[in-house]
Amino acid sequence: MKKKIYVTRQLPESVLSKLRDQFEVDMWTKEDQPIPKDILLEKVKGVHGLLTMLTEQIDSEVFGKAKNLEVVANLAVGYDNIDLEAAKKYDVTVTNTPEVLNETTADLTFALLLATARRIPEGVDYIKENKWETWSPLLLAGSDVHHKTIGIVGMGNIGEAVAKRATGFEMNILYYNRSRKEKAEDRLGAKYVSFDYLLNESDFVVCMTPLTDETKGMFDAEAFSKMKNSAIFINTSRGGVVNEDDLYESLKTKDIHAAGLDVFRDEPIHRNHPLLELDNVMALPHIGSSSVETRIKMMELAVDNIERVLKGEKPKTPVK
């Protein structure tokens, strides 16, 4: 009998065909809607492999129902949606999709930084709303990026790719991690500093940490109060690292200058969320790794990981 795989979102057949040859594959057939939890709990019964999105909470309830489960392959590098303790308890391998998305996510992060600093969305709206009557000396004047100081919190795979882009703008690069990365310092000329120093000194504070118990809410009122009034905060990691009420207050009172956000505590962010009322917020719908090429690579990696585990081999990218 073939082993069974369940895929929690519609993915292209060109990617799944590799699995269909060897396994029985079933799939939630809506591309733009997450699978409801009650259906997921039914579908995982008897399944050996699960290919999940970051929109699903793979918790002890799911593991408890999936008695045959051997592998959960998450289509993301972040795995804060998966209960790793429960996975360990039920002896299930968890995999993610690191590295293949580094450059694409760094491109988006830098694009968000540039767009927020140079007020690009405002400029686009200005023309579309027919407001442009003449050139004027300070029309939509923004902040320079080149030669400024960027502070990267979470100098990991993507953080380093962001730093590489910053070198092209001749920026001064500061970073904060729990551990020092001397190789990155040599390669990128980045300087390892404390969290407080980074907040105090950076013109752009970029968050690239995973969401963990330690990082949850680390950008709070105290953190924002340490930033310059001219600082721009960029978050492409996870919304949970930010206390959004505190961020709103800091932006509203101009304690910090602006924010560019790709991720939110609750996604999709509610259209009436106070952050969206602010002119100094630029918001994107969690599209950091969203280029066609990279999303296909992520899917292929997730498929490869499932295939390997179900054939008794080591996956390429296990979550350790």
Ligand X SMILES: NC(=O)C1=CN([C@@H]2O[C@H](COP(=O)(O)OP(=O)(O)OC[C@H]3O[C@@H](n4cnc5c(N)ncnc54)[C@H](OP(=O)(O)O)[C@@H]3O)[C@@H](O)[C@H]2O)C=CC1
Binding marks (x or -) toward ligand O=CC(=O)O, 131..170, rule CB under 6 A? ----------------------------------------
To the nearest whole angstrom, how small is the minimum distance from the Cβ of residue 108 to ligand O=CC(=O)O? Answer: 10
**Residue 301 interface partner, choices ligand O=CC(=O)O, ligand X, none, CB cut-off 5-8 Å depending on type:** none
Is 240 a residue that touches ligand O=CC(=O)O (CB under 6 A)?
no
Convert residues 156-195 into a mask of x (bound to ligand X by CB under 6 A) and - (unbound). xxxx----------------xxxx----------------
CB of 257 to ligand O=CC(=O)O, least distance (A): 26
Catalytic residue ranges: 238, 267, 286
Nearest Cα to Cα of residue 190 among 242, 154, 226 = 154
- The answer to whether 263 and 35 have CB atoms below 8 angstroms apart is no
Site for ligand X in 92-151 (CB under 6 A): 98, 101, 105
Q: 79: left (phi > 0), else alpha (psi -120 to 50), else beta?
A: alpha
First vs last C-alpha separation in the chain? 31
78 binds ligand O=CC(=O)O (CB under 6 A): yes
The DSSP symbol for 211 reads P
The tokens of 281 are what?
């917020």
Range 253-280 burial, b when 16+ CB lie within 10 A, else e: eebbbbbbbbbbbeeebeeebebeeeeb
Residue 261 contact among ligand O=CC(=O)O, ligand X, none, beta carbon within 5 to 8 Å by kind: none
> Where are the strands (E) in 199-283, listed by range?
204-207, 232-235, 258-261, 281-283
Contact 281, 251 (CB under 8 A): yes
Rounded to whole angstroms, what are the CA distances from 292 to 9, 86, 178, 264? 16, 33, 33, 23
Alpha-helical segments (H) within 95-150: 102-117, 120-128
Least distance between ligand X and beta carbon 310 (Å): 25
* The binder of ligand O=CC(=O)O chosen from 288, 294, 295, 305 (CB under 6 A): 288
Strand 24-27 and strand 4-7: the pairing is parallel
User: Residues 203-242 vs ligand X: string with x where CB under 6 A?
Assistant: -----xxxxx-xx--------------------xxx----
Count of residues near ligand O=CC(=O)O by CB under 6 A: 7
Pairing outcome for strands 232-235 and 204-207? parallel
Encoding tokens for residue 63? 């593991």
Q: Residue 289, interface with ligand O=CC(=O)O (CB under 6 A)?
A: yes
26 and 43 Cβ atoms separated by less than 8 Å = yes
Q: Contact between 76 and ligand O=CC(=O)O (CB under 6 A)?
A: yes
Choose which of 78, 151, 240, 315 interacts with ligand X (CB under 6 A).
Answer: 78
The minimum distance between CB 78 and ligand X, in angstroms, equals: 3
Binding site for ligand O=CC(=O)O (CB under 6 A): 54, 76-78, 101, 288-289
Binding site for ligand X (CB under 6 A): 77-78, 98, 101, 105, 153-159, 176-179, 208-212, 214-215, 236-238, 262-263, 286, 288-289
